[in-house]
Structure 1
Amino acid sequence: MSADQLPVQDLPDFSYAGYKNGSAPLALEVLKSLDVTEFGAIPDDGVDDSRAFLAAFAAAEDSDGPVAVEIPAGRFIVSEILYLQRDNLILRGAGNQKTRLYFPRPLRLLPDPPELAELREYLTEMDKRQREKQNNIDLPFTQYAWAGGYIWARKPGERVKAYLDKYDTPVAAHAQPVAGERGKRWLTVKSAGQLEAGQVINVNWYNRAGRDSPLLKMLYPGVDKIGSHHWAFPSRPLVSQTSRILEIKGNRIELSDPLLHDIEGFTTDITRKPYLQNVGLEDFTIEFPASAYVAHHVEQGFNGIYLTRVYDGWVRNVDIINADSGVLTEEVANLTIRDVTTSGEHKAHYSVAMGDTHNVLVENLHVQNLVIHPLSFNTFSTKSVYTGCTVDQRPILDQHSGANHQNLFDNITMYVELNDQEISERRYSAFKGGGAGYWKPTHGADSTFWNIRLLFSGVPDEKATITLDGVADGPNANIYGVHGNRKVDIDYGPSADIAAVNQAISDQPSLYQLQLSKRRIKSRPTDNASDLSATTDNSVK
C-alpha cells in the first residue's frame, strides 16, 4: 500500500512534535560542567552517593548560563529525589552502558513530596482503591501510581496537576482570541498588548455550556455518553495548547505550531504559565531492585523520571530497569524522548507515559518488560506521537480518556503471544481504553494509527484471522496499515476510518517522518500559512 492512496492530507499534522517542534538537534551549548565526583561521589564503592549528587545539583542551580551535571562511568547509589528546577540544564552520563544510577528504595519510604499533597488528598476523598475480589485485594491507590520520580523536573511552587476544585484560583487572561482556524498558525486577538514574541503561552478552550456544548460535539462527534468531568470544572480549560509566539503583527500573532481547533464558536483565552526550558537527560541507566508486584495502582514508587512543566526538553539514550513507571509526564510540551529501553523482571504500570502532553515525541522506545500500559496517551494529551516503538510483551495501544485527542501511534511493532482463550476466540485487545468513567470516552476525534505491525506467536493455524478489539466509545479514529504475520480484522468504533488492513504502508512507514519531511522542504510561511516552523528560531529569549 502506498501513502498516496490514503487521505494523508485530511489528517492532523503531527510533525511539530518534539524538541523545538522537531526543528533542532537535541543539544545545548553549556558554559559549565559539574562532575558529581568533584562533590564526593565515588563510583562502584557500594556507598550511597546521594549527598554528592544533591550538592552537584545545588551548584548547578547557583551557576550562571547553561550547565551540565556530568556523571562518569560506574555505578552510583542514590536514595534521594534529584530535582531539576532551572532552565538550560543537562544531566548527562557517559553512556547507557557505562553510567548506572541505582535507586535501592521505593519513593514511599521517603518523606511525602509536598507537590503531591493535592493528589494524596484527592485519592483519599475519592476513596480510590484497587479492588480485585478474586485476588483478595482491596487496597488504596498510592500517590506514585502515576506521579513522582527519582529524577524529577519541576517548576518550584507550581501546582503539578489540578485535582480538587477548592484549590483552583483565578488565572488572568493575557489576551482574548477572536479568530483563528484549525491547522493554521496565525490567530487574531482583541489586543496583543500583554503579549511578546518569544513568550510561551497557553491557548485554552473551555466548556462553559454543559454536557451539550459545541466543544464536546467537536471533540466527540456522534457520542452521547460523555463523563461528567467534561463539564464539572468550567473554570479549567478542557483543551489547552502550549505554544511559543514567533511574531506579532498588530493584533495578529503567529504560533510555533498550528491551532488544535477553530477559535470562533468556542470559549477561549490565552494565559501564561511558567515552564522549565531546555532541560535534557541523556546517556545513563536507571536501575531499581527487582521487587514483588502487588497490584495495579498500588505501585510503591520505583519510578524513574518525572517531567512536569517542561517546554522544550529531551530524554535520550536511557535504559530503565525494574521500574514501576519509567518516564511519567504532566503539563509538558515540545519534548523528544528517544532511544529509551525499559526492561526487568518487575511488572510495570507505565513504560513512557503521555500525561497532559502537547507535541511530545517518543521515538524508538523499546518496551522489553511486561507493562500494564506499555504505550499510553493519558488525560489532556494532544498532538503527541509514539513512533518507531517496539513492545515485546502483551502489547496494547492504550488511550486513557480525559479529552486526549489528535495523537498518533506510528510505525509500531507489537509482539503478541496469544493465550489459550485468545487462540480459541481468535481475538486480541490490541487497542485498549483505560481511565475513569467520569473522563470517558476513551479518546476524542482524530486519534490516528499508522503502519502497525503485529507479530503473533502461538497461533497454530497460519490461515487464521485474528480480530483486534478496539474501543467502543472513541469516535472518528484514523486506522491505516494494520498488518502482521496473520490476517487481522479490526472491530473499532464509532465512525472509525479503517483502510489498508493487512497491508504495510511500505513507501512511507512513518507518518510523522512523512509530514516532517514535507514541512521541511517548504519555505517559511507568510501571512496565513501553517507550514514550516522548522526553520524558525524557537530558542529561549
Structure 2
Amino acid sequence: MNTLFTKNVNAKNRIVFILVLSLFSIMEAQEFPKILSDKQTSTTHYLPDFSYAGYEYGEQPISRSKGKIILATDFGVIPNDGLDDTKALKKAMEVANKTDGTAILQLPAGRIILSEILYVERSHFVLRGTGTGVSGSEIYFPRPLMYVKDPEDLKELREYLIKFDKRQREKENNIDLPFSQYAWSGGFIWTRVPGVRVKSYLKKYERPYNVLAKVHEGKRGDYTFTVSDVKGLKKGDVVVLQLFNKQGEKGIVIKDLYKGCDVKVGSHHWMFPDLPIVRQQVEIVNVSKNKITIKTPLTIDVKPEYEAQLSEWKHLEQVGIEHIKLTFTPNVRIAHHVERGNNGIFLTRVFNSWVNDIVIENADSGILTEEIANVTIQNITLKGTNIAHYTVAMAGVHNILAQNIRVYNKAEHPLSFNTFSTKNVYHNCEVFRDPILDQHSGANHQNLFDKITVHVLPSEKRSYPLFAGGGAPYWKPSHGAYNTFWNIKVHFLSGLDSEAPFLLYGMKDGVHARLIGIHGNNPLNIKYEPESYKEFINKPLHSVPSLYEYQLNKRLNKK
C-alpha cells in the first residue's frame, strides 16, 4: 500500500513538474521577440543572420596553435633592462618567417621596448606573450609612429591627404592642422601581404582586378548565385565578391542599400564606378555548372542591372596575436585626426585569424582593421589617460566578431562600424566613459551591436546622443539597411532626480535599423530615424540575451 501511495505521489509530482515546465515555456514564448517568433513580423522586417561572424565562422574555438616555438630571448630580447629590443625582435621575426609549418614567436615575461613597426607577413603564425597581468608580457612604445620612417604602405594615403588638403579645422579652437596618416591607419604590430595594396585613395594607383568570374544573379540571404564561368574556381577558394555602381547617382545598388529611404546620399557612392561599393569575402563550398555555392549568405541582392564579379583576394590565414599588454606614453591630445600614431595593432588582409587577451593603455587607436574577414578579436581591455580616436574599430571588413571588449578610457568612437563594413558583431562589450555606438558611414550595412552595456553620465536635458554617427558627408548616410541593436543596457551613473523618460538620440539617416531590447535603470525614449523597427524598448531580453549566440546555436544545432 505504501508503495502504491508513493507511486501515486510521484505521478502527481511528475504531472505538476510537467505543468510548471509548460507554464515556463508559455512565459518564454510570450517574452520572445516577434521579429524572431512571428512569421509575418520577421517577413516584413528582415533580420540578418549574424552567426557567421568570427574565427572559423564561429564553429570552432580559437586555435591553440602547436608548432615551432621561437623564443624572442634567443635573439637578444632582454626584458626589464630599459634598452630597446626592436632589432632583436626583428631578427626573431625573420627566423619565424623562414620556419616551416606554424611558427610561434614567444615573448618573455616583463617589459620589452619596441620603437619600429613589427610586420607580420606570413600565415600560420602566432605572436604570443605570457599574459597581461603582473607576470605577463608587456610591449612598451617609447614614442609614437610619427617618429618612425614613413611606411611605404601608406604612401598613397599621404599623397591623398596632401592632394585634397585634408585638415582638421576648428575655428573656435584656432585649429587648422593637416590630418595625420595615422588617424585611421597603421600600427606597431601590423599584418600585411607584402606589396599588396589595402585601400584605394588615388586613381593613379588603381590596377585591374584579377577577375575569376562575372556574377549574374543572386538573392539576399541565399548561398547560391549564377556566374559566367566556373573554370577558375574550386571548392575551398576564398575570394571577394565585388558589386559596382555603374549607373551613377540613381544606381539600383544605392536604392538597394538604403531601401529607397529619403536620405541624402553622398557623392562617393557614384563618383568611383570602377571601385566596388559592396564587397564580401566568401568561401566557395560547391561549384556546379554555372552556379557557385558559398559558405555565408549574401548581404544584398545581386542583380543583372549592375556589375558584379568574383575576384582574387590575397590574404594571410591562421594568424594570432595573444596574451600581451601594449603600453604607450601618456600625451596631450592636439585635435581629432591629428593623432601622433600611438596605434597598437593594425590588421590587414587576414582571414580565419584572431587577437585574444590584450590590454592596451594610452593608445590613439588600440586595434585598427582593413580588408579582413572572419577574425575574432576578444578579451580586449582599453584604458589610460589619453583621449583615443578609436578603440577596436571595424573598417572595410566582413564577418568580424569583437567580443568582451572593455573600454575604460575616453574615445571619439568607442565602438565603431566604419566604411564598407558588413555582417560584423560587437558582442558582450562595455563602455565606461562617454559611450557612442558609432556607425561611420560609407555603405556599411547589416552590422550588430549585441548585448552591450554603456555607462552614461546624464545631462540636465535628460537626453544623450548614444546613436551619433560619424564619417564624412560624401559617404553619408550613416549606415545602410538592417544594422541592429540587441539587448543594449544603459546604466545612468548619477543625477537622475526623477523617473521621467530619458531620450537616446543621434541618428537621423540610419535607414531600417532594428532596435530590440534597449533598456536601462531609467525609462527610455528612443529617437532613431528613418524607418526603424523597435521592440522590447525598456525591457531586457531574458529569452534571447544575445542575438549572435542565439543565431549561432540555432545554425549549429541544425547541422
* Global fold match (TM > 0.5): yes
Q: Does the 8 A contact of 1:470 with 1:490 survive in 2?
A: no
Q: Give the residue type in structure 2 aligned to 1:445.
A: A
Which among 125, 128, 141 is matched to residue 163 of structure 2?
A: 125
Q: Give the residue type in structure 2 aligned to 1:256.
A: K
Give the CA deviation at 1:196: 1.5
Aligned residues: 519
Counterpart of 2:52?
A: 16
Counterpart of 1:538?
A: none
SS in 1 for 2:213: coil
RMSD between aligned residues:
1.2
Q: Does the 8 A contact of 1:188 with 1:252 survive in 2?
A: yes
Which structure 2 residues correspond to residues 83-482 of structure 1 after superposition, within 5 A? 83-97=119-133, 98-221=136-259, 222-265=261-304, 266-418=306-458, 422-423=459-460, 425-482=461-518
CA shift digits 1:451-471 (9 cap, x unpaired) = 111001233323121111131
In 2, Cα distance between equivalents of 1:116 and 1:223: 37
Give the CA deviation at 1:25: 1.5
The percentage of aligned residue pairs carrying the same residue is 47
Q: Give the residue type in structure 2 aligned to 1:113.
A: P
In 2, Cα distance between equivalents of 1:460 and 1:182: 44
Distance verdict in 2 for CA 1:70–1:238, change over 3 Å: same
Structure 1's unaligned 5+ residue stretches are: 524-541
In 2, Cα distance between equivalents of 1:160 and 1:189: 26
Q: Does the 8 A contact of 1:223 with 1:475 survive in 2?
A: no
CA shift digits 1:395-454 (9 cap, x unpaired) = 000000000000000000000012xxx32x211000011110000000000010001110
In 2, Cα distance between equivalents of 1:86 and 1:285: 23
Distance verdict in 2 for CA 1:386–1:3, change over 3 Å: farther
Q: Does the 8 A contact of 2:32 with 2:543 survive in 1?
A: no
Counterpart of 2:89?
A: 53
Q: Give the residue type in structure 1 aligned to 2:406.
A: H
In 2, Cα distance between equivalents of 1:184 and 1:72: 47
Distance verdict in 2 for CA 1:453–1:83, change over 3 Å: same
Counterpart of 1:514?
A: 550
CA shift digits 1:250-270 (9 cap, x unpaired) = 322221211112223432111
In 2, Cα distance between equivalents of 1:138 and 1:6: 51
SS in 2 for 1:432: coil
CA shift digits 1:86-144 (9 cap, x unpaired) = 01100000111111110111000011001001111111111111112222211111000
Q: Give the residue type in structure 2 aligned to 1:231.
A: W
Give the CA deviation at 1:218: 0.8
CA shift digits 1:213-236 (9 cap, x unpaired) = 111111112134100000011011
In 2, Cα distance between equivalents of 1:278 and 1:119: 28
SS in 2 for 1:341: strand
1:4 maps to 2:32: yes
SS in 2 for 1:364: strand
In 2, Cα distance between equivalents of 1:220 and 1:326: 31
In 1, Cα distance between equivalents of 2:210 and 2:520: 51
Give the CA deviation at 1:359: 0.1
SS in 2 for 1:175: strand
SS in 1 for 2:398: strand
In 2, Cα distance between equivalents of 1:261 and 1:144: 32
SS in 1 for 2:320: strand
Give the CA deviation at 1:474: 1.4
Counterpart of 2:6?
A: none
Q: Does the 8 A contact of 1:116 with 1:160 survive in 2?
A: no
SS in 2 for 1:184: coil
What TM-score comes out, normalization by structure 2 length? 0.91
Q: Give the residue type in structure 1 aligned to 2:487.
A: N
Give the CA deviation at 1:311: 1.1
CA shift digits 1:456-505 (9 cap, x unpaired) = 12333231211111311111011111110111111111101111111111
Give the CA deviation at 1:247: 2.1
Distance verdict in 2 for CA 1:380–1:165, change over 3 Å: same
Higher helix share: 2
SS in 1 for 2:400: strand
In 2, Cα distance between equivalents of 1:6 and 1:35: 54
In 1, Cα distance between equivalents of 2:113 and 2:63: 27
In 1, Cα distance between equivalents of 2:409 and 2:65: 35
CA shift digits 1:313-338 (9 cap, x unpaired) = 10000000000000000111000000
Which among 79, 83, 89 is matched to residue 43 of structure 1?
A: 79
In 1, Cα distance between equivalents of 2:67 and 2:446: 39
Q: Does the 8 A contact of 1:229 with 1:439 survive in 2?
A: yes
SS in 2 for 1:171: coil
Q: Does the 8 A contact of 1:28 with 1:66 survive in 2?
A: no
Structure 2's unaligned 5+ residue stretches are: 1-27, 37-41
SS in 1 for 2:204: helix
Give the CA deviation at 1:30: 3.2
In 1, Cα distance between equivalents of 2:279 and 2:76: 44
In 2, Cα distance between equivalents of 1:157 and 1:495: 44
Give the CA deviation at 1:40: 0.5
Give the CA deviation at 1:28: 5.0
Give the CA deviation at 1:249: 2.3
Give the CA deviation at 1:50: 0.7
Counterpart of 1:531?
A: none
Indicate the larger mover: 28-37 or 38-47: 28-37
Give the CA deviation at 1:290: 0.9
In 1, Cα distance between equivalents of 2:387 and 2:270: 36
| Greater C-alpha Rg | 2
Indicate the larger mover: 462-471 or 24-33: 24-33
